[in-house]
Amino acid sequence: MKIVAKVISYLSHPLFVPIAGAGTYFITTPKYNPDGLQDSVLLPLFILTVIIPIIAYFILRNIGIISGVFMPTLKERRYPLYIHITLLFIVVLKVVPFPYVPELYYFFLGLIAAAMTALILLFLRQKVSQHLMGMGSLFVFLVCLSIHFEKNSILAISLLVFSIGLVATSRLYLKAHSRTELIIGFFVGLLSQTVMLKFWL
């Protein structure tokens, strides 16, 4: 069971939330996309939010700043968040600048707001689940995309809700977070995206 929980935790790592959100947008949108738009967003997004953070992780681990991929201590979590927030700002300014793809622009602003909230809470000595924070962000974004484009995404939403429960259970089983940390993380993700809705929905 521990191996299954670890696999679920790796697959649902917050590292994959930006690319998952962008992929969800391109699958859901009925808008006409000019040739190359999807590639011009997804490729640099993958490099900035997956490849570079992985390289940064190995550098931070080799120099002893972090001890592992799930970063159990408060201090360890700060440095990856600094990097994550910086890279998200680059995405907003260079990959999906307004009004290039408004939905994605505000989605990434919501991710920045969530990451900065998590960072502030760290300084207040409150750890939150970034796994659930990412899942909460994706949940709001998927629901609102289905409303925005008037598409029936009940199956996808149901699968995502099931996944959220699975991830929360896995994090509890691994004793990576308390119930409070999971709940706070989830609601930080929910609220950060909800705040952005008035700008694009």
How does pLDDT run along the chain (201 residues), one tens digit per residue? Answer: 788 888 888 888 899 999 999 999 999 888 777 767 888 899 999 999 999 999 998 998 888 888 777 676 778 888 889 999 999 999 999 999 888 889 999 999 999 999 999 999 999 989 999 999 999 999 999 999 999 998 888 999 999 999 999 999 999 998 888 999 999 999 999 999 999 999 998
What would the two tokens of residue 75 be?
């201090």
Residue with tokens 């991710």: 111
Residues 6+ apart with CB under 8 A from 145: 24, 25, 28, 29, 103, 151, 153
Are the C-beta atoms of 119 and 188 separated by less than 8 Å?
Answer: no
What would the two tokens of residue 20 be?
């998952």
Are the C-beta atoms of 21 and 138 separated by less than 8 Å?
Answer: yes
- Summarize the chain as % helix, strand, coil (round to 5): 80, 0, 20
Q: Name the nearest CA neighbour of 108 among 126, 136, 89.
A: 89
pTM: 0.92
